[in-house]
Amino acid sequence: MTILLSVLIGLGLFFIIGYSARAGLRVTAPAQYKPTFRDMPLTASFGLTVIVFYIVIAIFAQAIAPFGEGEVMGHQFLPWGSPYYLGTDKLGRDMLTRVIYGARNTVGIAFATTALAFFLGSVLGIWAALGGGWIDQILSRFIDALMAIPELIFSLLLLTIFGTSVLTLILVIACVASTRIYRLARSVAQGIVVTDYIEAARLRGEGNWRLIWREILPNAMAPLVTEFGLRFCFVFLSISALSFLGLGIKPPTADWGSMVRENATLITFGDVTPLLPAGAIALLTVAVNFVVDWLLYRASGLKE
């Protein structure tokens, strides 16, 4: 009965947030964008609202959180109630504060990692398609060799070798994720480099880097932007998984993956507190996928 009630409440919130967000966008959006939001599905409006909510929490975490990020407030595993509305963790830190700061740390690091991965993968992929020949063959075979190794295992190996600082985590995950982006960027660019306007640009004397930034990349943005959202989800889940395993973001920095591991003991006593950071991870992943599906539908040119 409790599960059914939770499902009904969740569906109710989904429809309320989706309808309210879509209605608000229709009213406040500039005139040229109103048709876009008029056809927006409820899933996309719900996902967009959740993403904006997470961004606001991440930016203003210090102002919103009731206590300091690593501040020890009282006894460990205190129950929910004032002033610790989500209880405390195994060290006596406020869980609500840790969840709020986790939005800044986990989401911020995942976004920076995805951005770096996209810069590396898209530039190398387009360069390989544009250059062709031995450049394409060497890069593609090297990327194929890296893609043959499972992402999580490869990341664990590299982090074990180079350490687990935040900078190392970003660089390792970005390099691993860029291999998938390389394949997409190369495939899209191969269909662009043979077009007439690329040949015309070459006849004008434009170099490879100008062709990449001025001609190819703008025309490849639709699939790359869609892939950015999907790849963000994979990177976000990878960082959380590594933190859960103890090789991700290090304490006392708040991180949702490590928070699940640190408070997993409570699950045996029927306490749902460890599921809160896990739920935050799942909600953001679903929201991003909702928006990506909508963007992919629009980029494909399909009409109902």
Q: Look at residue 281 and tell me whether its pLDDT is greater than 60.
A: yes
C-alpha span between 254 and 262 (Å, rounded) = 11
C-alpha span between 54 and 47 (Å, rounded) = 11
**Predicted pLDDT of residue 116:** 93
In this structure, are 17 and 160 located in the same domain? no
In a domain? residue 184: yes
**Predicted pLDDT of residue 278:** 86
In this structure, are 139 and 263 located in the same domain? yes
Altogether, the residues listed in the chain come to a count of 304
Higher pLDDT, 299 or 173: 173
The domain in which residue 4 lies consists of 1-40
**Predicted pLDDT of residue 114:** 92
Q: Which amino acid is residue 163, in one-letter code?
A: G
**Predicted pLDDT of residue 7:** 62
| Cβ-based neighbours of 255, under 8 Å, separated by 6 or more | 102, 105, 106, 239, 240, 243, 248, 249
For 64, the token pair is 């919103």
Residue 147 is given by DSSP the state H
58 neighbors 51 (Cβ within 8 angstroms): no
Looking at the DSSP bridge assignments, the partners of residue 94 are 88
Nearest alpha carbon to residue 262 among 38, 85, 93: 93
In a domain? residue 156: yes
Residue 274 CA, distance from chain mean position: 21
- Please report, for the domain that includes residue 113, its CATH number: 1.10.3720.10
> From residue 50, how far is each of 13, 106, 240 by CA, in Å?
12, 16, 19
- The pLDDT > 90 percentage for the chain reads 5
C-alpha span between 50 and 54 (Å, rounded) = 6
Average pLDDT across the chain, whole number: 82
In this structure, are 256 and 126 located in the same domain? yes
- pLDDT tens-digit profile of 49-61? 999 999 999 899 8
Higher pLDDT, 6 or 47: 47
In this structure, are 226 and 129 located in the same domain? yes
Q: Hey, is 296 helix, strand or coil?
A: helix
In this structure, are 27 and 162 located in the same domain? no
In this structure, are 273 and 125 located in the same domain? yes
For 156, the token pair is 């664990």
Number of domains making up the chain:
2
In this structure, are 36 and 109 located in the same domain? no
In this structure, are 112 and 19 located in the same domain? no
Q: Look at residue 94 and tell me whether its pLDDT is greater than 80.
A: yes
Residue 207 is given by DSSP the state -
Average pLDDT over residues 233-259: 84
In this structure, are 146 and 226 located in the same domain? yes
pTM for the full predicted model: 0.85
In a domain? residue 54: no
Average pLDDT over residues 127-142: 84
- pLDDT tens-digit profile of 151-171? 888 888 888 888 778 888 889
Highest average pLDDT, of 196-200, 215-219, 225-229, comes from 225-229
In a domain? residue 198: yes
**Predicted pLDDT of residue 117:** 92
For 282, the token pair is 């799942």
In this structure, are 196 and 296 located in the same domain? yes
287 neighbors 51 (Cβ within 8 angstroms): yes
Looking at the DSSP bridge assignments, the partners of residue 88 are 94
**Predicted pLDDT of residue 211:** 79
Q: Look at residue 304 and tell me whether its pLDDT is greater than 50.
A: no
In a domain? residue 162: yes
Q: Look at residue 184 and tell me whether its pLDDT is greater than 80.
A: yes
In a domain? residue 82: no
In a domain? residue 67: no
Q: Look at residue 259 and tell me whether its pLDDT is greater than 80.
A: yes
In this structure, are 2 and 113 located in the same domain? no
Residue 79 is given by DSSP the state P
Q: Determine if the peptide bond prior to 218 is cis (ω within 30°).
A: no
C-alpha span between 165 and 171 (Å, rounded) = 10
In a domain? residue 189: yes
In this structure, are 10 and 115 located in the same domain? no
Q: Look at residue 20 and tell me whether its pLDDT is greater than 80.
A: no
- pLDDT tens-digit profile of 61-87? 888 888 888 888 778 888 888 888 888
Higher pLDDT, 121 or 216: 121
Q: Look at residue 291 and tell me whether its pLDDT is greater than 80.
A: yes
